[in-house]
Structure 1
């Protein structure tokens, strides 16, 4: 499979490395052009390119950039890309922590619906509700009793199947979260977000999500995370993320 990866940070870089290692043809890009990614590309056996090279003639695109940066992408970036080729949005919205406020999302629009409308191209939501270190080191083969899960949402069945295949190849059980409109169930502050759940647990967590509660929980986690100290362990972060959903919530 030919896979374009736009953004080579913790998520995009990890996925590019995994898919190149498993034999896929991987093109990597960021907003600064091919020269800016050539050293990373060489280190993992990928092809350096610009964003247009990562978004054309491929079987899947992984969009792994901060959510506000989506608005800075070229408006015609995905014009020629068929709808059945997934553009996998891995982004999350962190207002008042990292991101400027986006009115539509603050008013309840699911994050990836905003991405779709901004790009004028459908996306699949995936890889967003797994911690970066879980993604890097927590993958397991299918059938492993300790294999964790990642939720996938989207409207095009063919594109979703491709995305779910890539989730599985990355080492995680893909759990169908429904249409893109349903992807709010895997956003920050929900029971499904970054809790290291197995597949059955992930399905239950998605079902427990409560509309409009997630942003309040998300915002409360900023101070909770700061309270873990400068170098919290993975286990401490998971306990915090799970624990907030086990207590009565008072924003």
Structure 2
């Protein structure tokens, strides 16, 4: 997922997930070999591949983004769009696995410098004691990501429209605002193709859990601080309510 070139390490306990950042964790050399992914199960390919995509998207919209991280993130998004479905469906498609290996590396370089935003904070929000969920890392982030994209779209319409286009969503003839919100739809379509849930209700979250999960987002203050749109508790409750129903504002 690009973690091999980042400055972050995750420590998970049965009750909470901690993230440690240090410049000492940047490697001198990172070796990425597509052959090591050949026997990775399809479900793990999907979970880690979608995590790499989230790394790239979140780094691209982060308040800490810069022209260099943008270039890395954009190429990573394009590579994921071109290769993840094939890598998931055909384990011996080494061209697709090569593309995903490069995508995850570039995404890692992007988020290792620009950071991630509330997509990751929302994913971490499920692992606190009040929720008692134990989702794989990429999976927990991905199931809420369409609604994070929708929440953040107004913060930078052009960047979100670009995400939609790179993920293959037709935007010709749409206003910039309409195109930006299609980023959420494009991500949701990818989840469907990877046989991943598109609502948190599908994975056992109940409506009464939403207030607690929304509060847990703020236990990741660095992600909240980098988010391009101001994050409020009310806004997070609305985000998770949409994620619960599995419905975007565009009606899908």
Give TM-score, length-normalised by structure 1.
0.28
Between structures 1 and 2, the one with greater helix share: 2
- Higher RCO, Cα 8 Å, sep 6+: 2
